[in-house]
Amino acid sequence: MNAKPHVAVVGATGAVGIEMIKTLEKRNFPVGKLTLLASARSVGKKLKFRGTDVTVTELTKDSFKGIDIALFSAGGGISKEFAPIAARAGCVVVDNSSAFRMDDNVPLVVPEVNAFDVRWHKGIIANPNCTTAITLMALYPLHAAFSCKRIFASSYQAVSGTGAKAIAELERQVDQIVKGQPVTKEVYPHQIAFNVLPHVDSFLPTGYTKEEMKMENEGRKIMHHPAFKASVTCVRVPVYRSHSIAVSAEFDKPVTVEAARAVLKQAPGLDLVDEPENKKYPMPLFTSEKYNCEVGRIRKDCAFDNGLCFWVSGDQLLKGAALNAVQIAEELVK
């Protein structure tokens, strides 16, 4: 890998694409040259990188000549079509969509958990689902110490996980309600303002949604733990940014709150915020635009013989997407 790689961001004008550009700059990633790619309707837009305007160009089959690393965040369809083309052109793709996550030939990586899997890539590396990534930041260190059998979890997912249009929808609906106007909806099937929707992604024949099954399927692959089980309910909440997850986890080895706290204090990319007596616990308000995830509300689970409950919150545009992708690129440059 080139010491100063030529980096492309695909889907540069989207919510995650913009965060990718900011993250490359903030983390001083050794970008030799930056190319911004998007669909025809975004061509000509200018985005700032290191104080300079970079013009967005159109994504085509010939876009990847001479590019070393491409960070993709333009949806599964685009990834399926263009990631193999980029890989054939000698570029390493870090893909933020679900297109390749469960492909046996593609590493699925959270660097704090399984950075070593980057080594066996064949041109494409997958970024995990945002809710899964944020949950694993707290769950994996506990699994490494106490061996996790299964979890029951509920997510509280911000609208920015759906994209810029969903942020606008929440803003618009709050304004409509305050002004006593009829509420209009385009993005979600129901009003999201002052409401919660137990519906993230499409429903499967089992009654779970695709999003809910990602925790089990992707969790098994990332943690190299094929017996891991997760029963999850994913909920969209009227929050702009940062997903939160309530987790009840059952372990093989005896676990105490003190032992769990000691493990979580040492965990990379995670801050322990657990002082309920001082009303201190993780919240979307304080994890938004922050690289580290936060974990708190740690307690013995009174429904399991050997379990813990905890609450984790993290910025799904960052650790759930852009930051994780840039961290994978950092592993590639190493």
Catalytic center residues = 130, 243
- DSSP annotation of 42 reads G
* CA–CA distances in Å: residue 181 to residues 132, 165, 177, 187, 195: 37, 20, 6, 18, 17
Q: Which residue is listed with tokens 């304080």?
A: 286
Q: Where are the alpha helices (DSSP H) in the chain?
A: 15-26, 76-88, 111-114, 130-146, 164-178, 210-223, 257-266, 284-287, 323-333
Rounded distance, CA 78 to CA 200, Å? 21
* CA–CA distances in Å: residue 92 to residues 27, 144, 204: 20, 30, 32
* CA–CA distances in Å: residue 273 to residues 24, 74, 133, 152, 295: 27, 34, 18, 21, 6
Rounded distance, CA 135 to CA 138, Å? 6
Rounded distance, CA 300 to CA 302, Å? 6
